Amino acid sequence: MINITQRRINDKFNEEFDILHKVDPKVLAAQDKGSTMSQYPLEELRHKSLFPNSKREIHSIFRYPAKLIPAIPLSYLNSKYLPDEGSILDPFVGSGTVLVEGQVKGYKGYGIDINPLSILLTKVKTTPVDWNLFHSIKSEFWSSVIEEDPDIPVFTNIEYWFEPQVQEVLGKILNAINQISNEESRDIFRLCFASIIRSMSNADPIVFPPVYSDKAKKGNINRSFQSIQAAFDERLDYIVKTLSNHLSTLVAPHIPEVKLGSATDPRVYPENLDLVITSPPYINAQKYLRTTKFELFWLGLLHERDKSELEREFIGTERLLRDDYSLLDNLNGQHWSPWVSKIREVDEYRALIAHKYFLDMGVTFENIYNSLKKNGKFILVMGNNSIRGIRIKNHEIMIEMAKDTGFSFLSGKIDPIQQRYLSTKRNETADFMRFEYVLIFSKD
């Protein structure tokens, strides 16, 4: 059953949402001096007043980088953009925010991501659980941990990041988790294990990507089995309580289908979708794989020997090969050529990163277009950034690229960036991003 009453309430929010709230021109000027967006007027996204209680606790069960704030998909998951029991896709699913909110509303959800940890997290958030079975498994878990041999991954400098006795205990916990036969229960334990990995390492528990911390090492030198057990139990109890409370509010939920793969691969896309909402990576992207490498290595979701190859598949990657430089032969005549050509004058490597990023996003747009029904909508959340001091108007470029693909541009909104466990400054060749743009397209 779909909660029609709740949907009507949200539709009322949407009517208020459509009231024009023009952005102060000074704000836009500060963000994008010299912008040519006068042909595409922007409005401010007033989600804070329309959805003041939009942050469900389920979104906090795992600290994942660059989370999309729930209020953005909530602004579009309604009858203006979707029929009852309509279908949605996020091809950069990340922490699963779009699919979680879509599931709450009763929509059919699909997700794609190249990071295996994203797939695990999204599945845990959206999959019903046999709680009687889970608690039965939980009651016998620690007795099995004691009996297991440690299952310790092999990766470079593991001794630098993890103290020997910590490795031993974590390895025992991991081996016990892997013996759990029920998939839904096992995934919850795996997510809990991933959520304590950083705090058990010698890395700063806050900073992304991992940075060595003497303070963290000092806290781990004499860490005991009992202290690790206590940390695991505390986190598991929180995840279980939050997850069970959330899932209990869902009525006959559609379980989203999430696939591991690249947004540039047409084979992983569903068909006949009503709506796509997504926030892709940025040029000079945060090193998402490096950020989650401890969790991936320990869970066996990624082996170190495969890391470089997987990094190359990320959109916005800095992991390029010598042969990739030939791509710059086709730089002229592209919507992004004026900016990337300027970057090339001072840094050919960074120019190639940007050029390949836009080429990959062009392929992604084609895949999204082909997956949508006629009159289906595409909501793109992204920001502008600078490379080597050159400000790239990503939002303008994306609009033109989408139009080339066949989309019609309907409107654009602007949203101040909040801290989402990801610095708005990507690296030393970039600068801080203050705003994200919400661009709305239609497949005519």
152-198: pLDDT as tens digits: 999 999 999 999 999 999 999 999 999 999 999 999 999 999 999 99
Answer yes or no: is 297 within a domain. Answer: no
For residues 434 and 424, the answer to whether their CB atoms sit within 8 Å is yes
pLDDT band at residue 11, thresholds of 50, 70 and 90?
A: very low
Answer yes or no: is 431 within a domain. Answer: yes
Residues 317 and 360 in one domain: yes
Residues 417 and 310 in one domain: yes
Residues 89 and 185 in one domain: no
pLDDT band at residue 8, thresholds of 50, 70 and 90?
A: very low
Structural domain total, the chain: 2
Residue, of 282 and 352, whose pLDDT is higher: 352
* Helical spans, DSSP H, in 249-377: 288-291, 293-299, 304-313, 337-346, 348-371
pLDDT band at residue 147, thresholds of 50, 70 and 90?
A: confident
User: What DSSP character marks residue 45?
Assistant: -
Residues 226 and 338 in one domain: no
Q: Count Cβ neighbours within 10 Å for each residue of 321-352 and write b for 16 or more, e otherwise.
A: eeeeeeebeebeebbbbebbbbbbeebeebbb
Distances (CA, A) of 190 to 78, 94, 162, 215, 301: 34, 17, 18, 27, 11
Q: How far apart are the first and last CA of the chain?
A: 31
Counting other chains too, the contacts that 365-368 makes at CB distance below 8 Å and 24 or more residues apart are: 365/401, 365/402, 365/405, 365/407, 366/266, 366/405, 367/91, 367/263, 367/264, 367/265, 367/266, 367/269, 368/89, 368/91, 368/269, 368/276, 368/278
Residues 399 and 268 in one domain: yes
Tokens of 55: 């942050």
Tokens of 412: 């654009």
Tokens of 323: 């042969």
Task: Answer yes or no: is pLDDT of 435 > 80.
Answer: no
- Please give the share of the chain, as a percent, with pLDDT higher than 90: 73
Task: Find the range with the poorest average confidence among 42-46, 219-223, 342-346.
Answer: 42-46
* CA distance linking residue 54 with residue 42, whole number of Å: 23
pLDDT band at residue 50, thresholds of 50, 70 and 90?
A: low
Residues 269 and 401 in one domain: yes
Nearest Cα to 31, choosing from 411, 394, 338, 343? 394
Over its C-alpha atoms, the chain yields an Rg (Å, rounded) of 23
Strand duo 407-416 + 435-443: pairing: antiparallel
Residues 23 and 65 in one domain: yes
Give pLDDT tens digits for 32-41.
Answer: 444 444 455 5
* CA distance linking residue 299 with residue 173, whole number of Å: 11
Task: Answer yes or no: is pLDDT of 7 > 50.
Answer: no
Residues 95 and 152 in one domain: no
Answer yes or no: is 89 within a domain. Answer: yes
For residues 7 and 105, the answer to whether their CB atoms sit within 8 Å is yes
pLDDT band at residue 285, thresholds of 50, 70 and 90?
A: low
Answer yes or no: is 209 within a domain. Answer: yes
Residues 193 and 336 in one domain: no
What's the chain's average pLDDT?
87
Residues 330 and 435 in one domain: yes
Nearest Cα to 379, choosing from 114, 108, 117, 68? 68
Answer yes or no: is 295 within a domain. Answer: no
* CA distance linking residue 121 with residue 170, whole number of Å: 20
Length of the chain: 444
Domain that residue 175 falls in: 131-248
Q: What are phi and psi of 22, to 5 degrees?
A: -70, 140
Nearest Cα to 193, choosing from 64, 65, 299? 299
Task: Answer yes or no: is pLDDT of 441 > 70.
Answer: yes
Answer yes or no: is 125 within a domain. Answer: no
* CA distance linking residue 322 with residue 409, whole number of Å: 37
Residue, of 52 and 127, whose pLDDT is higher: 127
The CATH number linked to 16 is 3.40.50.150
Answer yes or no: is 253 within a domain. Answer: no
Residues 61 and 176 in one domain: no
Task: Residue 6: count other Cβ atoms within 10 Å of its Cβ.
Answer: 13
* CA distance linking residue 444 with residue 437, whole number of Å: 22
Residues 279 and 413 in one domain: yes
pTM, two decimals, is 0.87
